[in-house]
Amino acid sequence: MSGENISGENISGNQDELYQKRYGGDTYNTAYYLAQCAKSAIDVSYVTALGDDTISEDMISTFSTAGVNTDLIEKIPGAVPGLYAIQTDEHGERSFLYWRSEAPARQLFQTPQSETLKSELLKKDWLYFSGITLAILHSKGREAFFEFCQDFQAKGGKIAFDINYRPRLWVSKDEARSIIDKAYAISDLALPSYDDETLLFKVSSPQEAIDRITKLGAKEVALKNGAEEVYVHSHGETEKHDIIPANIVTDTTSAGDSFNAGYLYARLSGQDTPAAVKAGANLAKQVIAKAGAIVPVTPPTF
């Protein structure tokens, strides 16, 4: 649920400054890839808030065409979507500019429609969110969200969480640490990346990161580490899974998001953790071979 929304990528590189419009964000990327894998076998709904403008409408129709259910997207009258620009320099290095302080997604769980949203969400089996979801929510909405998570789990719902730590979205590291640890504590499935764990928590090995997260209460943890091994902790044991380095690495944007989708797809389909790592790695490899966060993929098979 929720996240960044619309992005513009400079495609001209000249004075004309032509930008290409794309829609995305970490949690949407995962929803998109899960929907590509599961087709109609799993109902994938995306939760965010947008405005009632033409871009918001176009975004909703793009999501829906991709197979993501948009029924739970709130439309806030007068609001306009968050915006960011991706600029690529002559060495291929990407940099980001953000205009999202007023993004309507920040108001989630605080709007008059929140009660309806919560009662609809309670009917779902899994709720997936990230550190970006938590960072962008206003503090009252964040509190309401954590309260909702308790009700959701009390009704048998399961929670999946990816840290996706973005320092600029948080007031301080201390705030990020305490909120992110609250999310780990309630995670049925945590999908962190080792890079983010080292950046925020200064752990010095994948095993240390896994131990820290499981001690907080997370039940299953799959720790990603680029082309290095994925560590999976479940039922009190940690397994290591080799990743075969990709021959083609064009753009690693969305590697973690697509891995999460493949992993979730496998686990939600009743597969074991080694099969889930394979599915996640397979999807991520397809995604990093192509440019852009959202690309066409062939679903992994079990």
Contacts with ligand ADP, residue ranges (CB under 6 A): 193, 195, 224-227, 230, 243, 245-246, 249, 252, 255-256, 259, 280-281, 284-285, 288
DSSP class of 292:
S
Provide the CA 99 distance to its chain's centre, in angstroms. Answer: 19
| H helix runs in 171-270, sequence order | 173-185, 194-201, 206-216, 255-268
Provide the CA 218 distance to its chain's centre, in angstroms. Answer: 17
Which residue, 28 or 259, has its beta carbon nearer to ligand ADP? Answer: 259
Helix (H) / strand (E) element for 136: namely helix 131-136
Closest separation in Å from C-beta 37 to ligand ADP: 15
Closest separation in Å from C-beta 36 to ligand ADP: 16
Which residue, 121 or 255, has its beta carbon nearer to ligand ADP? Answer: 255
Closest separation in Å from C-beta 38 to ligand ADP: 19
257 noted as active-site residue:
yes
Q: Which residue has the tokens 């503090």?
A: 139
Q: 57 vs 6, 32, 189, CA distance in Å?
A: 12, 17, 33
Q: How many CA atoms are closer than 13 Å to the CA of 254, on its beta-carbon side?
A: 30
113 Cβ contact list (under 8 Å, min separation 6) = 74
Assigned token pair, 219: 């039940």
Closest separation in Å from C-beta 217 to ligand ADP: 22
Are 106 and 138 within 8 A, CB to CB? yes
Q: Which residue has the tokens 């990407």?
A: 94
Which of the following is catalytic: 26, 162, 196, 257? 257
Which residue, 53 or 251, has its beta carbon nearer to ligand ADP? Answer: 251
Closest separation in Å from C-beta 151 to ligand ADP: 29
DSSP class of 45:
B
Which residue, 58 or 251, has its beta carbon nearer to ligand ADP? Answer: 251
Edge-first strand order for the sheet with 158-162 is 126-130, 158-162, 189-190, 220-223, 230-234, 237-241
41 Cβ contact list (under 8 Å, min separation 6) = 269
Closest separation in Å from C-beta 296 to ligand ADP: 18
Which residue, 97 or 249, has its beta carbon nearer to ligand ADP? Answer: 249
- Taking CB atoms, the residue at the shortest distance from ligand ADP is 256
Which residue, 105 or 209, has its beta carbon nearer to ligand ADP? Answer: 209
Report the catalytic residues: 257
